[in-house]
Amino acid sequence: GAGVSQSPRYKVTKRGQDVALRCDPISGHVSLYWYRQALGQGPEFLTYFNYEAQQDKSGLPNDRFSAERPEGSISTLTIQRTEQRDSAMYRCASSRQGITEAFFGQGTRLTVV
Amino acid sequence: GQQVMQIPQYQHVQEGEDFTTYCNSSTTLSNIQWYKQRPGGHPVFLIQLVKSGEVKKQKRLTFQFGEAKKNSSLHITATQTTDVGTYFCALSSNTGKLIFGQGTTLQVKP
């Protein structure tokens, strides 16, 4: 695609439900990053992939959070048993191999009620 | 782990005034990137600096990488209302992940 696509753009869910956030990176981009961004703060690193391999998941807050990228393209960030504190903007970014610019998607605004 | 500190957190300037944001690290950086996020938008890449002492310009924006590769700055000359937004620096850790600073939010009064 032309850019990084994230879906849904907005998600409201009840506390305790599971949610899956999808990221479709720019075609051919090797690296894919997941971030969480609170209002007025910088993007907080969650995890990243090179191809289908999860290289670093040190930013995932706890074991309710997981991510996968099974075919090295589309990625899914899953949050199980959501809590109100999980409410945030979740952003995905992709980049070519190596240390190059990251292209961000529009994000998914998650609200847990 | 590696992290960067950005100062100031906020800056309000009159249109036409200059603006500078600083990014500091306690460790030597392999590179640094700068991003701009408009209100309601997503971060957009501006530039990457790799070499010690490097200076790059983009129109009214000047980016510098310190000689010791532990700090960087972004300077905007004669700000315009279109410069409004939050400016982030970001570093690549030794594991390859991209780590962002907290950002400097610029407000420009016309």
Mean pLDDT to the nearest integer, A65-82 = 97
Q: Which of A55, A101, A102 sits opposite B95 (nearest CB)?
A: A55
Per the CB < 8 Å rule, is B95 touching A56?
yes
Q: How confident is the model at residue B94 (pLDDT cuts 50, 70, 90)?
A: confident
Distance CA B67, CA B53 (A): 4
Name the residue type at position B78. Answer: A
With CA atoms as reference, the chain B residue closest to A108 would be B42
Q: Judge residue A42's burial from the number of C-beta atoms within 10 Å of its C-beta, 0-12 exposed, 13-18 middle, 19 or more buried.
A: buried
Residue predicted with more confidence, B110 or B93: B110
Per the CB < 8 Å rule, is A41 touching B30?
no
Which ranges in chain B belong to alpha helices (H)? none
Q: Minimal Cα–Cα distance from B89 to chain A, Å?
A: 9
pLDDT tens figures, B15-39: 999 999 999 998 999 999 999 999 9
Mean pLDDT to the nearest integer, B55-84 = 97
Mean pLDDT to the nearest integer, A75-82 = 98
pLDDT tens figures, A22-70: 999 999 999 999 999 998 899 999 999 999 999 999 999 999 999 999 9
Q: Which of B33, B99, B100 sits opposite A101 (nearest CB)?
A: B33
Q: Minimal Cα–Cα distance from B21 to chain A, Å?
A: 14
Per the CB < 8 Å rule, is A55 touching B33?
no
Residue A25 at interface with chain B, using a CB cutoff of 8 Å: no
Name the residue type at position B5. Answer: M
Residue A56 at interface with chain B, using a CB cutoff of 8 Å: yes
- Predicted local confidence at residue A6, as pLDDT: 98
Distance CA B68, CA A18 (A): 46
Q: What angle do CA A89, B41, B90 make, to 5 degrees?
A: 75
Q: Name the CA radius of gyration of chain B, rounded.
A: 13
Task: For residue A84, give the DSSP letter.
Answer: G
